[in-house]
Amino acid sequence: MRTLRNFRRAASLVAALPLGLAAQFPAKAPAATPIKPASFPPFQQATLPNGMRLLVVQSHKQPVVSVSLSFQAGSVYEPAGKAGLADMVASLLTKGAGNRSADEIAAAIEGVGGSIGASAGEDFLGIRADVLASDAKLAFDLVADATIRPTFPEKEVELLRTQTLSSLALDLSQPASLASRAFARGLYGAHPYARRADPASVKSITRDDIVAYHKARVCPSGSLLVVAGDLSLAQARALAMAAFGAWTGTAPAPVTFPAFPVRTAREIVLVHRPGSVQSNIVVGNLTWAPGDPRAYGATIVNRLLGGGADARLFMVLREQKSWTYGAYSSLVRHRQMGDFEATAEVRTEVTDSALVEMLAQLGRVGSEPLPAEEFERTKNALTGAFPLSIESANQVASQVSSARLLGLPADYVPTYRQKLAAVTAAQAQVAAKAMVRPAEALIVVVGDATKLREKLEKIAPVTMVSADGTVLKPEDLVVKAGALDLAMERFVPHTDSFAILVQGNPFGGQSVTLEKVDGGWKFTDATRLAAIIQQSTEVRFTDRLVMQSVHQTGKVQGQDAKIDVTYTDGHAKGSATTPAPGGAKTIAVDTDVPAGVIDDNALQAFFPALKWAAGAKFALPVFQSGKGSVTTVSIAVSGEESVKVVAGTFDAWKADVTGGAAPLTIWIEKGGAHRLLKLALVGTPVEFQLAK
C-alpha cells in the first residue's frame, strides 16, 4: 500500500508540472547505444625457469598491485575420506609462514593497508595479496612465504579444526546447505565434484595430511602468477624471480576422474527435514566444460530466467504467485563440467505447485522464441555491467586468473563483452535447449517428507533420504517412541542457574527447576536475555514421564510468545503464538503424538537421566509444541573435555544435539548428578554456563 501511495504521489506531482516541462519527460526509455569496447590493458607473459607462468596486466589508473598465485590443488584432488583438506591447507597458509607467525603476517600486511588471503575451490587453490604499488615487494615476499614455507603450527591446525566443525554443525542444520549437498551428490555421482566436507572427514585430517597435500599439490611447475596493477612486466618478473626463483618442484601427475552420470529422466530426491514449515527446491542438470561456445548465449538465458528480481522465476513465483521471497538460477563453471541450477524457498503447502511452475518456466526458455525486447534488455544489462567487474586491480586479477585456469582463450576477458553482445536470440535459444533440460532434471527438495512425499510423487519418482544421504522408506518417517531408557536414580528434584554469555560477556540468565508435585513432576524455566527475550515456561508430566501440559508466556524481541498445550491420551491440543516477520503468529495445535514423546521445552530436564558414556547416542521423540509437530532429536557424545564454566571447572561429556530448532553443543558433568554444565548455540557467540 505504501508503494502504491508513493506512486500516486509521484504521478500527481508530474501532472502538476507546467505543460512544457512535463513534455520533456520521454514516453519510453531511449534505445541502447552501440556497445563500446571495454578498456582493458594488454597482457604480458613470461615463464620463470622453475615452470611458473607469469601474466602481467599493467594499469596506471591507480597506484595499487594485486598479486594472485594459483595451483591445481582444489578439493577434487583430496584423498578419499579427507574432504575439507584443501580448504584447511588454504586457510593455514597465512597462519604462520617463513619467520612470521599468524599475528606477524597480519601485522605486516595491515601495516601497509593491504590484505592477504587464501582459499580453495573445487579445482584450484589460490592465494592473493593486494597492496599499494610501493609495497609490491612485501606482497611478493608474503605470498612466497605462504606458498613455499608455511609452518602449519599445530595450535593453528586445531583451532581451525574447531572453527570448521562449528561452522559445519551450523551448515548442516540449514536447509539451503542440505539442498546444495544433496544436489551435488545426485548430479555428480562418483566424481569428486560431489564431495563435501563433513564432521567425520574434518576430524580425520591430521597435520601430516596437511603437510603431505601441500607438498604434493603446491609446486611452481604449472602454477599461474597473475600480477595486475601499476607494475611493468620487467618489475614483476624481477620481484617474482627474487621471491620464487629458487623454488623447484615438478607438477603432480595427471589424475583420471570417474565419468559424469548420464540422466535420461526427471527424478526427485526428497531430503526429510522433520517439522520444516518451508521447502528448499533445487532443479538442474549438467551442462558443459568452460570453453563451450554456447556459454555466451547461456549466460544471457540464465540472467533472463533467474538472474535477478526482474527475471522470470522471481516475477512469476514471487510477484504473481506470492509463493516465495525469491527464486533464482545460476550457471556453475568447473574445469571439467559445469551445471545449471534453479532454486526457490517456498511454503510447505505450495511446494508441489511451485515445483510444477518452475518446471514450466524452465521448459519455456528452450521451447518458445525469446521475445526480442526481453532478450535485448537482458543482454544490454549484462554487457553494461561488465566494465564494473574489471575496475580494480583485484577484479582484473580475479577475472584473468579464472579464465586462464579454466583453460579459456587468451583473449577471453578482453573480448568477452563484444562476444556477449554479438549473441542473437536464435543462438541463445539453441543454448537454452542444451543448458536447461527439465525433462531429465535432478530435483532436490528439502522439507517435511510426511507432508510432501505423496504430492511430489505425482510429479516424478521420489527417493527419500535423511540429511546425511541415507535412503529412507515410508515407514522411517514415523517417529518411533516408547518407554525411555533412563537412569531414573538421577531423575531427581534440582534447581540450576545459568549465566547467558554473548562473546564471553554476561547478557542474561536462566533458572531451571525440576520438582516433585502431586501425581508427577513440574519443570519450570525462566530465561532473560537482556531486552531480547523474557520468557517463563512450565511443563508438567506424570511419574511415568507422560506429558500433561506446557504453558509458556513472554516476549521475544517485543513480540508475544505464548504456548498453551494439553496432552491427553496421546493427543496434543491447544495453541501457540510465536514471533514472526511482520508480527507474532498464532497456530492451533491439534495433533496425535506417539507414546513416550517429550515436550521440547522440557528436554533439558531429561539430560541428567540419559545413560552417558563414550560414543553414546540417543534418539529422543520430541514434540515441538510451538510448531505443533513431532521430530526426533539426536544426541551424540563426541568426546570428553575439562570444561570451565562460571561455577568452576569440571570433567564433562561433550555432545552434539541435532534435529531440534537449532543445532546445539552441550557439556554434561561426567560424575555426580550429570548436570548440564554448558550449552552453546552452534554458529553463534551465545553460551549458557552453569553458575551455581
Phi, psi of 621 (to 5 degrees): -70, 125
150 and 98 part of one domain: yes
Whether residue 514 sits in one domain with residue 467? no
Return the pLDDT at 15.
38
Under a CB-based contact definition with an 8 Å cutoff, are residues 239 and 51 in contact? no
Residue 560's contacts (CB-CB under 8 Å, 6 or more residues apart) are 554, 577, 579, 584
**309 and 222 share one domain:** no
Is 85 found in the same domain as 214? yes
Assess if residue 160 is contained within a domain.
Answer: yes
- 472: in domain: yes
In a domain, 481, yes or no: no
Question: What one-letter code names the amino acid at 501?
Answer: L
CB 614 within 8 A of CB 637: yes
DSSP characters for 355-415? HHHHHHHHHHHHHSPPPHHHHHHHHHHHHHHGGGGGSSHHHHHHHHHHHHHTT--TTHHHH
Choose one of 476, 500, 528: the last residue of a domain.
Answer: 476
The domain in which residue 494 lies consists of 488-690
54 CB burial (10 A radius; 0-12, 13-18, 19+): buried
Nine-digit cell string for 237? 618478473
**At which residue does the C-alpha cell 594488454 appear?**
42
Q: What string of H, E and C letters represents the secondary structure of 572-631?
A: EEEEEEECCCCCCEEEEEEEECCCCCEEHHHHHHHHHHCCCCCCCEEEEEEEECCCCEEE
- Nearest CA-CA partner of 172 in 199, 190, 138: 199
C-alpha–C-alpha distance, residues 298 and 430, integer Å: 9
Query: How many whole angstroms separate alpha carbon 568 and alpha carbon 570?
Result: 6
pLDDT score for 37: 60
Residues 107 and 60 reside in one and the same domain: yes
Place of cell 525486447: 373
Query: Residue 600's closest CA among 659, 544, 553?
Result: 659
What are residue 8's phi and psi, to 5 degrees? -65, -40
Residue 494 cell numbers, joined: 534440582
Cα–Cα distance measured from residue 148 to residue 391, given in angstroms and rounded to the nearest whole number: 31
Q: Considering the domain boundaries, does residue 325 fall inside one?
A: yes
Q: What is the end-to-end Cα distance of the chain in Å, rounded?
A: 53
**Which string of b and e fits 109-137 if b means at least 16 CB within 10 Å?**
beeeebebebebbbbbbbbbbbbbbebbe
Residue 2 located in a structural domain: no
pLDDT at 4: 31
Residues with Cβ within 8 Å of 372's Cβ and at least 6 positions away in sequence, in order, are 425
Residues 647 and 548 occupy one common structural domain: yes
Rounded to 5 degrees, what are φ and ψ at 311? Answer: -85, 165
Q: What is the DSSP string of 270-289?
A: EEE-TT-SEEEEEEEEE---
Q: Is residue 365 located within the same domain as residue 272?
A: yes
**Is 438 part of any domain?**
yes
* Backbone φ, ψ for residue 54 (5° rounding): -115, 130
504 and 452 in one domain? no
Three cell numbers, residue 363:
521448459
pLDDT of residue 17: 40
Beta strands in 25-178 (DSSP E): 43-47, 53-58, 64-71, 96-97, 100-101, 115-120, 125-132
How confident is the chain (692 residues) per 10-residue block, as mean pLDDT? Answer: 35 40 56 64 90 94 95 96 97 97 97 97 96 97 98 97 89 92 97 95 97 97 95 97 95 92 96 89 97 96 95 96 95 96 96 98 95 95 90 88 92 92 96 96 96 96 93 85 78 94 92 94 94 93 94 91 94 91 86 90 94 90 89 89 94 90 90 91 89 90
Element (H, E) at 242: helix 233-244
How many domains does the chain contain in total? 3
Q: How far apart are CA 103 and CA 96, in angstroms?
A: 8
- 307 and 329 Cβ atoms separated by less than 8 Å: yes
The CATH number assigned to the domain holding 388 equals 3.30.830.10
- Report the alpha-carbon distance of residue 680 to residue 638 in Å, rounded: 14
Q: Check whether residue 435 and residue 492 sit in a common domain.
A: no
The grid coordinates of residue 211 equal 603437510
**Which 3 state secondary structure label does DSSP give 201?**
helix
**Contacting residues for 257 by C-beta, under 8 A, at least 6 apart:** 76, 191, 192, 336
294 and 344: one domain? yes
Domain identity same for 224 and 284: no
Residues 60 and 158 in one domain: yes
pLDDT of residue 32: 62
Q: Does 253 reside within a domain?
A: no
Side chain identity, residue 417: R
- Residue 127 located in a structural domain: yes
